[in-house]
Amino acid sequence: MSYPATAADRTEGVPPDALHNDVLVRELAQLHRTRHETFLYGSEDALRRHTLRTGQLEAEFVRRFPTRQVTAGRTRSGARAREAAAETEAHPQ
């Protein structure tokens, strides 16, 4: 695996498909941790780059793990079930 020689060449980061699985997950976690701060306080260029890199890494993750575990509560039907339960709890009959 070769890496860019200069800082200017590294502005886009290592190509997502060149990252090992553990590095990909670690990079995604870091981007998710820094998203809010970048959104609130980063320059337009920083926010654009953050958004682009996050999208690239997330797409690579989904490509590698298409059958990743999806929690039922994180689906539309799960969200509707939570809303119905909350409504029932708020207004018992």
Q: What is the pLDDT of residues 74-84, one digit of tens each?
A: 788 878 888 88
Residue 38 lies in a domain: yes
Q: Are 51 and 31 in contact (CB under 8 A)?
A: no
Residue 49 lies in a domain: yes
Residue 72 lies in a domain: yes
36 versus 79: the higher-pLDDT residue is 36
Can you give the pLDDT at residue 91? 83
Evaluate if residue 6 carries a pLDDT over 70.
no
Residue 2 lies in a domain: no
Single-letter amino acid code for the residue at 32? H
58-71 per-position pLDDT tens digit: 999 999 999 988 88
Q: Are 34 and 41 in contact (CB under 8 A)?
A: no
38 versus 75: the higher-pLDDT residue is 38
Residue 3 lies in a domain: no
3-state secondary structure of 65: coil
How many structural domains comprise the chain? 1
3-state secondary structure of 68: coil
12 versus 49: the higher-pLDDT residue is 49
Residue 23 lies in a domain: yes
Residue 64 domain boundaries? 8-90
